[in-house]
Amino acid sequence: MEDQVNRRSWPPRSAYLHIPFCHRRCFYCDFAVVPLGDHADGANSGSIAGYLELLLGEIAAAPAGPPLATVYVGGGTPSMLTPAQVGSLLAALGTHFGLAPGAEISLEMDPASFDGPRLAGYLAAGVNRVSLGGQSFDDAVLARLGRRHRSTDLLQAASWLHQARQGGDLASWSLDLIQGLPEQGLAAWRQQLAQAVALAPPHLSIYDLIIEPGTVFAWRQGRGELELPDADLGADLMELTAQTLQAAGYGHYEISNFALPGHASRHNRVYWSGAGWWGFGLGATSAPWGQRLARPRTRAAYAEWLAESHPASRGTQAPGLPFDERLLVGLRRREGVRLADLAGQAGVTSAELGDLLGRWQPFRERGLLLQEGPRWRLSDPEGLALSNGVLRELVAWWEERTAG
CB of 32 or CB of 123, closer to ligand SF4: 32
Which residues in the 113-152 window bind ligand SF4 by CB under 6 A?
A: 133
Count CB neighbours of 122 within 10 A. Answer: 27
Q: Kindly tell me the burial class for residue 248, based on how many C-beta atoms sit within 10 Å of its own C-beta (0-12, 13-18, 19 or more).
A: middle
Kindly state the DSSP code that residue 287 receives in the 8-state scheme.
Answer: B
CB of 21 to ligand SF4, least distance (A): 8
Interface segment toward ligand SF4; rule CB under 6 A; list 26-34, 276-284, 350-358, 377-385: 26-34
DSSP assignments along 98-110, one per residue: -EEEEEEEEEEE-
CB of 253 to ligand SF4, least distance (A): 23
d(CA 180, CA 231): 10
Interface segment toward ligand SF4; rule CB under 6 A; list 23-31, 86-94, 213-221, 241-249: 23-31
CB of 396 to ligand SF4, least distance (A): 30
One of 12, 42, 76, 134 touching ligand SF4 (CB under 6 A): 76
CB of 29 or CB of 157, closer to ligand SF4: 29
Number of residues that bind ligand SF4 (CB under 6 A): 11
Interface segment toward ligand SF4; rule CB under 6 A; list 29-37, 122-130, 168-176, 361-369: 29-37
CB of 25 to ligand SF4, least distance (A): 5
CB of 294 to ligand SF4, least distance (A): 17
Count CB neighbours of 131 within 10 A. Answer: 25
One of 15, 17, 26, 342 touching ligand SF4 (CB under 6 A): 26
One of 12, 42, 65, 75 touching ligand SF4 (CB under 6 A): 75
Q: Per rule CB under 6 A, is residue 33 in the interface with ligand SF4?
A: yes
d(CA 376, CA 123): 40
Put residue 101 in one of left, alpha, beta given phi > 0 → left and psi -120 to 50 → alpha.
Answer: beta
Q: Per rule CB under 6 A, is residue 109 in the interface with ligand SF4?
A: no
Cα angle, residue 48 at apex, residues 156 and 50 outer, rounded to 5°: 165
Q: Per rule CB under 6 A, is residue 153 in the interface with ligand SF4?
A: no
From residue 320 to residue 349, the character string flagging contacts with ligand SF4 as x (rule: CB under 6 A) and all else as - is ------------------------------
Amino acid at 135: Q
One of 73, 85, 107, 110 touching ligand SF4 (CB under 6 A): 110
How far apart, in Å, do the first and last CA atoms of the chain sit? 28
d(CA 154, CA 135): 9
Query: Roughly what angle, to the nearest 10 degrees, separates helices 339-346 and 350-365?
Result: 150
- For CA atoms 31, 37, 38, 42, give the dihedral sign: negative
- Applying CB under 6 A, the residues found at the interface with ligand SF4 are 22, 25-26, 29, 31, 33, 75-77, 110, 133
